[in-house]
Amino acid sequence: MTAMLQVPRSRGAVSGLLLVLLGLWGALIPLVGPYFHFAYTPDSAWTLTAGRVWLEIVPGAATFLGGIILLASASRPVAMFGAELAAAAGAWFALGMLIIPLWPAASTLDPGSPAGTTTVLRQLEHLGFYTGLGVAIVFMAALALGRLTVVGVRDARLADRAAPVAEEEPATADTATTGPVGRRTTTGSTTGTTTTMRATGAGRPGSLHTFGRWLVARR
């Protein structure tokens, strides 16, 4: 049962790598996006606000950490925890802007507004910073969870290899005595045959001498 908790690292390699990249994007794009005129207000690079920290940098770091765990872990429960952490961070990316206005204690977490000059650019900024990014993270994390919850043929083979090999049973007493008993029987048979041949004198050179002595005794 313990061996079934192990999983090949390649199982979550692709999903983990993509989650690492998405996490880096989510955490860094609010800080470096203004260089490319792709930003939320305030439109200035490397400017930290409460909204950027809690709505973008923190979930981006959580997604990055979940991807690293998923990428490096060979334990099924640990890898699943990494995928779940990334899924929660992705959900916060997608829903954080909707929850903040309804949460009075988080009124200082101002996400800002798209800084683009056209409608298309503002829509892309919204998708790239929050909703679209969160959906992509949740999708990748859910894909990794689906792969980790299924025990495949390869997992069963790895579990069989990890299972201890049963030791061979020692030889029983009957088997140990079979050889000597057989030798005694064979020896006894050989001895009986030799005795019989000696009694009859068959096949021996002295048999004619014995027959002559028998004739002398008859006279």
Contact 77, 5 (CB under 8 A): yes
Identify the three-state secondary structure at position 167.
coil
**Stretch among 10-19, 41-50, 135-144, 206-215 having the lowest mean pLDDT:** 206-215
pLDDT at residue 152, as a whole number: 61
86's tokens: 């990334």
Amino acid at 106: A
Residues in the chain: 219
For 123-166, the pLDDT digits (tens) are 999 999 999 999 999 999 999 999 888 876 555 565 555 555 44
Residue (of 126, 144, 118, 153) closest to 55 by Cα position? 126
pLDDT at residue 102, as a whole number: 84
Q: Where are the domains of the chain?
A: 3-159
Q: Indicate if the pLDDT at residue 18 is higher than 90.
A: yes
For 69-118, the pLDDT digits (tens) are 999 988 999 999 999 999 999 999 999 988 888 887 777 888 889 999 89
Q: What is the DSSP string of the chain?
A: --GGGB--GGGGHHHHHHHHHHHHHHHHHHHHGGGGT--BSS--TT---HHHIIIIIHHHHHHHHHHHHHHH--BHHHHHHHHHHHHHHHHHHHHHHHHGGG-GGGTT-----B--SSHHHHHHHHHHHTHHHHHHHHHHHHHHHHHHHS--HHHHHHHHHHSPPPPPPPPPHHHHHHHHHHHHHHHHHHHHHHHHHHHHTTT-TTHHHHHHHHHHHH-
Cα–Cα distance for residue pair 37/86, rounded to 1 Å: 28
